[in-house]
Amino acid sequence: MTHVSTAKEEAASTGDLVALRSVDKHFGALHVLQDIDLTIARGEVVVVIGPSGSGKSTLCRTINRLETIDSGTITIDGKPLPEEGRQLARLRADVGMVFQSFNLFAHKTVLENVMLGQIKVRRTDKRQAEERARALLDRVGVGAQADKYPAQLSGGQQQRVAIARALAMEPKVMLFDEPTSALDPEMINEVLEVMQQLARDGMTMIVVTHEMGFARSAANRVVFMADGRIVEEAAPDQFFSNPRSDRAKDFLSKILHH
């Protein structure tokens, strides 16, 4: 078993939490991820942007193995992604994910939604799970809604519950796949504010989003994708004020109305 600990030590010493190396993925004839190399350090907030169909969401979904890859390697905290079974469930607890749709269990209360994974996967006892769930619901600003059902909440509130549910597992990294794109405009900020706070608290985050304001203010690094490739990576200031590639310039000119 020594090889595991050395990989772990290596990851700990380099501070890299997520590493993708030469990752390729096809959907039929479509080459959705082409030779992706990406490393995310502990505590780093990486925002992935780019035109529709560029592979952003697929990239996000490979990191917790919702999508399998054709070739290359992905490691989380020095360990390769597990294939299936119990280890995969544990990985998904370590890698929290928040989707476009909220994916809450409709027949369970908000509180039960946030308790469930803790009890089933983390084997936390009920009382502890409830305490943690209530604290997290307060943290995302929906503590008063604990006993309601998801359908009784606004979209913005449901998405904040989904964030609390992912956080309840004490993940090492959080993936956000366009978490605000299904929300009405007035609800977007309440979700982004929770994410901003998480970023400030040092959570490692990978965020696929169209919200450029969030990318500017919360990201340590912007990763720009087009046609299944990473075209450019830079600090937000540099990327938004001085993109190097024509693809990025073109993309920004379309979305940033100067």
Contact 226, 252 (CB under 8 A): no
Quote the CA–CA distance of 15 and 194 in Å, as a whole number: 25
- Three-state DSSP class for 53? coil
Quote the CA–CA distance of 117 and 108 in Å, as a whole number: 13
**pLDDT tens-digit readout, 25-83:** 998 888 999 999 999 999 999 999 998 888 899 999 899 888 999 999 999 988 888 77
Quote the CA–CA distance of 245 and 67 in Å, as a whole number: 29
Domains and CATH numbers, the chain: 2-255 (3.40.50.300)
Contact 113, 150 (CB under 8 A): yes
Average pLDDT over residues 241-251: 93
Q: What pLDDT is recorded for position 3? A: 43
- Residue whose token pair is 């964030």: 163
- H or E segment at 231? strand 229-234
Contact 229, 34 (CB under 8 A): yes
Predicted model pTM? 0.88
**pLDDT tens-digit readout, 158-203:** 999 999 999 998 899 999 999 999 898 889 999 999 999 999 999 9
Tell me the pLDDT band of 4, cut-offs 50, 70 and 90: very low
Quote the CA–CA distance of 191 and 81 in Å, as a whole number: 29
Q: What pLDDT is recorded for position 11? A: 43
Dump the DSSP string for 143-192. GGGTTS-GGGS-HHHHHHHHHHHHHTT--SEEEEESTTTTS-HHHHHHHH
Quote the CA–CA distance of 49 and 42 in Å, as a whole number: 20
Contact 205, 174 (CB under 8 A): yes
Beta-carbon count within 10 A of 54 CB: 24
